Amino acid sequence: MQDACGGAAPVDEESTTLEQRRGIAIDSPIQAYLETLHATYAKVCDGEVATYIPELAKADPEWFGISIATTDGHVYEVGDTRQRFTIQSISKPFTYGLAMEDRGRDAVLEKIGVEPTGDAFNSISLAPGTGCPLNPMINAGAIASASLVAGRSPEDKLERLLAVFSLYAGRALDIDMPVYESESLTGHRNRAIGHMLRNFDILTEHPDPTLDLYFRQCSISVDGCDLALMAATLANGGINPRTKERAVRTDLVPSILSVMTTCGMYDSAGEWVYWVGMPAKSGVAGGVLAVLPGQLGIGVFSPRLDAHGNSVRGVAVCKELSRTYSLHLMQASRAARAGIRARYTLASISSRRLRHERERKRLDVIGDRALVYELHGDVYFPAVEPLVRELVDTSAGVDLAVIDLKRATRVEDAAGRVFFELLQRFDAAGKHLMFVGLQRHAALRRFLEEQTSASGQRLRGFTDVDAALEWCEDALLRADGSTPASDTVVALADHDVCRGLSPAALAVLEPLLEPRTFSAGELIIRKGDPAAEMYLLMRGEVSVTADLSNGQLQRFSTLAPGMAFGELAVVNRGHRNADVRAMRAVECYALSTAALDRLGDTHPAIKITLLENLLRNVARMLGRANQELVTLASDGAPPLAPSAAVPFAKSA
């Protein structure tokens, strides 16, 4: 049965245990969007297939494919992305880069300008006097670029050019000979341009070998996926994101992208920059390539061309992508990838709710079913894409995901839309996607509230990540069939501190314990008070907290029945370093330091056992805190300062 998003019908989470939910994966909202885009523009039948190169006229006008490659090598594809076609003018930026690499930027600038012409791609736009082509994206400039490719012979130059293009694509490219022959046979206008360039000594030899190289470069056979990877290679500073091989020097990339921005779409470059805002290049076989520096590359293929020789569907799809995902270069700030500050699971990081060893051990096993992302800076689509992809790829094994936006300075609308689409898919699969820090992002919260109430999904938001972690831990434990410890009542013999005590020893200890009860919200321990007793929690729940200078309450830990608090008194006999408050009705035993000292005199073995149990707990907490430090540090995120102190503060 299909639901509104076209995904699987919602799974009744109560009736589905963790086991039954295992293996349910969600589809990618980004892939789904591309499929919608393809379906929409496949209906657009404006434009004609190019015929001035006869072989090109054989193309099927309905061929249509969209590919997006990210700078870490992931490729999204929909439609005819593996349909081969000839690269045509999309070859020009790559040959321009090669010419600069072989001859040096200045030598190339002496021969080829960087000014847009506002004319068609095959216009004979040469600078008056010098005869220099105005830019390398028009045929004249491209032919000049081809003449600057190094090589002892035409074969040598071709081999070098093909090798470099193959580095961009990440696979060995070859030439579509029927198209090459067709163009070579009909390339009269280009020959005219070649001779004009020879006339002005832009070409220093007979133009034919250069024209032949140009016709061959235009006839290189590619597909939409190749274009996206070639674009992503430019976006990635000249290194192919999949093969990690370098195709061009990083310092030349800005020059290539600049002429693509100003001249790449010929006499519609202005329109293009205005509506799409990415460096791009089109080809008469129907390819369009666009680059978002530092983030991704786009390759669209559809042979139907507009009057400028640009793919109709290609231009429309890029406009839509740029609008939907805010890819326009002139956006306020583009802090790619800086978005993910930390990412971890509940197996490696825990909430400040202290868990009994049994629960802790279960969470170490099932905790990786909950993924947490802490985002920071400006959160744009490119920063969110890796998160979405990982959640989609791991969704069969993930039930809960937390997106912490507390350190995000801004969440761009497109990112918000993707979050909602992700939430829908999680919900439909009986899983939960939740947010932290929505209180700092009013527009996003309003958007998510409106969308979720309209679609009947539930928006789960938390003010801080600790509360979200605790909710997830409880949810995983509940789904795992275990009763949260906080709902239990513990007998003295089962208390952590009494572990290993015989009934006889318990009989000695019990009279020293003073029963206490506290109502919910009541302060049990006040920071600064003298520390003269510790407590054994038997029923209810307490939290160790401190007031922060900004008036907020910092939770150090929450304890459940069977745990002890205030035990630092036993060690330092000093003053309390945090408050302890009853979070619900509490029953506990107080053991004064005086009584403990007396016990030490009368029954030293019992006291030692008590102290050993306390030490074991502190050691377990310390071990856990160090493991969490390592997890956060290894993710490149600075360790949570001052976590080392937390274990002790956890107990006041």
Torsion on CA atoms 245, 246, 250, 255, rounded to nearest 10: -120
Query: Coil, helix or strand for 563?
Result: coil
Question: Could you tell me the smallest distance in angstroms from the CB atom of residue 88 to ligand DON?
Answer: 3
Figure out which of the listed residues 81, 89, 255, 322 binds ligand DON, where binding follows CB under 6 A. Answer: 89
- Does residue 212 interact with ligand DON by CB under 6 A? no
Figure out which of the listed residues 282, 348, 543, 613 binds ligand DON, where binding follows CB under 6 A. Answer: 282
Figure out which of the listed residues 259, 284, 405, 433 binds ligand DON, where binding follows CB under 6 A. Answer: 284
With contacts defined by CB under 6 A, name the span among 64-72, 281-289, 334-342, 462-470 that binds ligand DON: 281-289
From 278, 247, 251, select the one nearest 265 (Cα to Cα).
278
Q: Are 309 and 266 in contact (CB under 8 A)?
A: yes
Q: Provide Rg for the chain, Cα atoms.
A: 33
Tell me the residue ranges of DSSP E strands in 242-349.
280-282, 287-292, 296-301, 340-345
Terminal C-alpha separation, the chain = 54
Q: How far apart are CA 646 and CA 621, in angstroms?
A: 9
From 76, 69, 60, select the one nearest 169 (Cα to Cα).
69
How many C-beta atoms surround the C-beta of residue 33 within 10 A? 19
Binding residues with ligand DON: total (CB under 6 A): 13
Residue whose entry in the numeric block shows the structure tokens 């107990």 = 651
From 541, 529, 536, select the one nearest 515 (Cα to Cα).
536
With contacts defined by CB under 6 A, name the span among 25-33, 277-285, 541-549, 606-614 that binds ligand DON: 277-285
Query: Coil, helix or strand for 268?
Result: helix
- Does residue 121 interact with ligand DON by CB under 6 A? yes
Cα–Cα distance list, 386 to 184, 230, 333 (Å): 44, 20, 18
Question: Could you tell me the smallest distance in angstroms from the CB atom of residue 193 to ligand DON?
Answer: 9
Q: Are 50 and 305 in contact (CB under 8 A)?
A: yes
With contacts defined by CB under 6 A, name the span among 20-28, 280-288, 402-410, 481-489 that binds ligand DON: 280-288
Spell out, one character per residue from 544 to 573, where the chain touches ligand DON: x when CB under 6 A holds, - when not: ------------------------------
Identify which of residues 83 and 626 has a Cβ nearer to ligand DON in the complex: 83
Identify which of residues 141 and 170 has a Cβ nearer to ligand DON in the complex: 141
With contacts defined by CB under 6 A, name the span among 26-34, 279-287, 315-323, 429-437 that binds ligand DON: 279-287
Segment 497-526, which members bind ligand DON (CB under 6 A)? Answer: none
- Does residue 609 interact with ligand DON by CB under 6 A? no
With contacts defined by CB under 6 A, name the span among 76-84, 221-229, 278-286, 318-326 that binds ligand DON: 278-286
Tell me the residue ranges of DSSP E strands in 457-585.
460-462, 514-518, 523-525, 533-539, 542-547, 553-559, 564-565, 579-582
Figure out which of the listed residues 283, 339, 386, 561 binds ligand DON, where binding follows CB under 6 A. Answer: 283
From 386, 231, 247, 222, select the one nearest 297 (Cα to Cα).
231
Q: How far apart are CA 649 and CA 642, in angstroms?
A: 11
Identify which of residues 281 and 369 has a Cβ nearer to ligand DON in the complex: 281
- Shortest-Cβ-distance residue relative to ligand DON: 89
Q: How far apart are CA 220 and CA 20, in angstroms?
A: 51
At residue 481, φ and ψ (nearest 5 deg) are: 90, 5
Question: Could you tell me the smallest distance in angstroms from the CB atom of residue 429 to ligand DON?
Answer: 44
- Does residue 309 interact with ligand DON by CB under 6 A? yes
With contacts defined by CB under 6 A, name the span among 110-118, 233-241, 276-284, 502-510 that binds ligand DON: 276-284
Segment 157-196, which members bind ligand DON (CB under 6 A)? Answer: 183, 190
Identify which of residues 61 and 600 has a Cβ nearer to ligand DON in the complex: 61
Active-site positions read 89, 92, 214, 266, 284
Identify which of residues 126 and 284 has a Cβ nearer to ligand DON in the complex: 284
DSSP track, 349-393: ---SB---HHHHHHHHHHGGGEEEEEEEEEE-HHHHHHHHHHHHH
Figure out which of the listed residues 70, 139, 147, 326 binds ligand DON, where binding follows CB under 6 A. Answer: 139
Identify which of residues 81 and 88 has a Cβ nearer to ligand DON in the complex: 88
Identify which of residues 91 and 631 has a Cβ nearer to ligand DON in the complex: 91
Identify which of residues 193 and 253 has a Cβ nearer to ligand DON in the complex: 193
Query: For 166-176, b where at least 16 C-beta lie within 10 A, e where not — what string?
Result: bbbbbeebebb
Question: Could you tell me the smallest distance in angstroms from the CB atom of residue 300 to ligand DON?
Answer: 13
Residues forming the site for ligand DON (CB under 6 A): 88-89, 121-122, 139, 183, 190, 218, 282-284, 309-310
